Amino acid sequence: MDAWHREIVELHEHFEAWFLGTEDDNDRVEVALAEDFTMVGPTGETADRAATVQAIVAGRAHTDSLTIEIREPSLVAETTELVIAEYIETHVLRERTNHRRTTAVFRKHDGAPNGLRWLRVHESWIDRGLG
């Protein structure tokens, strides 16, 4: 598994454990997100690093039913400084399942998990799972 793919899987494993309340330490997110990180959520809202971290922290243990699956990971582009990847993220909950297509831009960084820091994420709904 390439470093970018491993990073996507590992961070989402952390999110799953965090949102289930089985993980108490959020340092994984703190070291993974670049200082200038931004995220475009599936409804088009934009959040900077501080707002993203705040939302993650607030979501701890908010569910007792969540599995996050990463499917169809692909490398879009790679330079000496950046890696761009795409994948489908599936959230399986007791009451519904949703799917989103995600593009992630990473900056290479020796001190970061898997040698990559998340610079930008853009999610688009495929299926919100609302029926």
User: Could you read off the pLDDT of 41-96 as tens digits, one per residue?
Assistant: 999 999 999 999 999 999 999 999 999 999 999 999 999 999 999 999 999 999 89
| Type of residue found at 84 | I
* Domain CATH number, residue 69: 3.10.450.50
Residues 62, 58: Cα–Cα separation, whole Å: 8
Range of the domain at 106: 3-127
The pLDDT value recorded for residue 107 is 98
State the total domains in the chain. Answer: 1
